[in-house]
Amino acid sequence: MAITTTDTSTAAKKGKMVVGSDVKLTSAKAQADENQFKADFNSLIKQGTSGSGNEKGLAASEGFMEKYSNSFIRSSAYLAVVIVSDEEDQSSKTVKEYTDYLKSFKGNAGLVKVYSVVDVNNTNCCQSGIATGSERYKAASNNTSGMIADIRQNFHGVLTEMGESIINLLDSFALSHAPLAGTLKVYVNDVETNNYVYDSASRSIKFNSNSIPPVGAVIKVYYVK
């Protein structure tokens, strides 16, 4: 895990990693000391309000990948982008251009998820100097079958729900597209199985706990999109 900000006012700032976030916010650190991990996250996430007022979260995600993809991305792992903002995204490109760029790092586009914690109900409407709304962030989440949550809700609950959603992806298999009802067929080592559930929200299949394929198994999924 790593953190960046929505400030892209200079090339150097666009997608720049918050120092220490990639070292302190790892799965190994979380497993070793969960309380310390939470404390570090709480400290690192507080970046203040002194940056550019033109918030560009989607452009920042692009900048992060431009700077760090070679060392940060694993081909078989999910790429989860969590955006927290109380303003509308003001990036220059279309939402699809940004989500397509993120998907370009994965052979399976279903491995990319954008989670948006945003001003869902547009409560900042009409305040001076604030770009109201959250439609672009919500569109990015919808484009990737991610989650959308309200920044005005209990923040602990929102992040916990998103964290659980991300953890659930670890033993799931992403699909590039939503299958047409009744067309999904799953094979393990060329034998068809029904020991799974399909989660339409994350567009993935999850095997039953007593039917998880063994290491090295060949899994094939067929469907009509």
Does 5 reside within a domain? no
Does 16 reside within a domain? no
pLDDT bin (cut points 50, 70, 90) of residue 104 is very high
Q: Give 118-154 pLDDT, tens digit per residue.
A: 988 877 655 555 557 799 999 999 999 888 989 888 8
Same-domain status, 203 and 155? no
The pLDDT of 184-199, averaged and rounded, is: 93
- Say what percent of the chain tops pLDDT 70: 94
Q: Which of 67-81, 139-153, 155-169, 182-196 has the lowest mean pLDDT?
A: 155-169
Q: What is the CATH number of the domain that holds 101?
A: 3.40.50
Same-domain status, 213 and 107? no
Phi, psi values for residue 42, rounded to 5°: -60, -35
Cα distance between the two ends of the chain:
32
Does 3 reside within a domain? no
Same-domain status, 43 and 136? yes
* Domain that includes residue 203, residue range: 175-222
Average pLDDT, rounded, for the chain: 86
Q: Give 36-83 pLDDT, tens digit per residue.
A: 988 888 888 887 777 777 889 999 999 999 999 998 888 778 899 999
The pLDDT of 97-111, averaged and rounded, is: 91
Residue 219 CA neighbour count, 13 Å, CB half: 19
Task: Answer whether residue 203 shows pLDDT above 70.
Answer: yes
- Say what percent of the chain tops pLDDT 90: 44
Quick one: pLDDT at residue 153? 83
Same-domain status, 96 and 151? yes
Does 96 reside within a domain? yes
What tokens does 184 get?
A: 């999904």
Q: Give dist(CA 169, CA 152) in Å, integer.
A: 26
CB crowding 164-196: b at 16 or more within 10 Å, else e: ebbeebeebbbbeeebeeeebebebeeeeeeeb
The DSSP code for 214 is: P
Residue with tokens 């078989």: 76
Task: Answer whether residue 162 shows pLDDT above 80.
Answer: no
Same-domain status, 108 and 215? no
Q: How many domains does the chain have?
A: 2
Quick one: pLDDT at residue 130? 56
Same-domain status, 142 and 184? no
pTM for this entry: 0.75
Angle between helices 135-143 and 57-72 (to 10 degrees): 40
**Taking CA 93 as the corner, what is the angle to CA 49 and CA 86, rounded to the nearest 5 degrees?**
30
The pLDDT of 186-213, averaged and rounded, is: 89
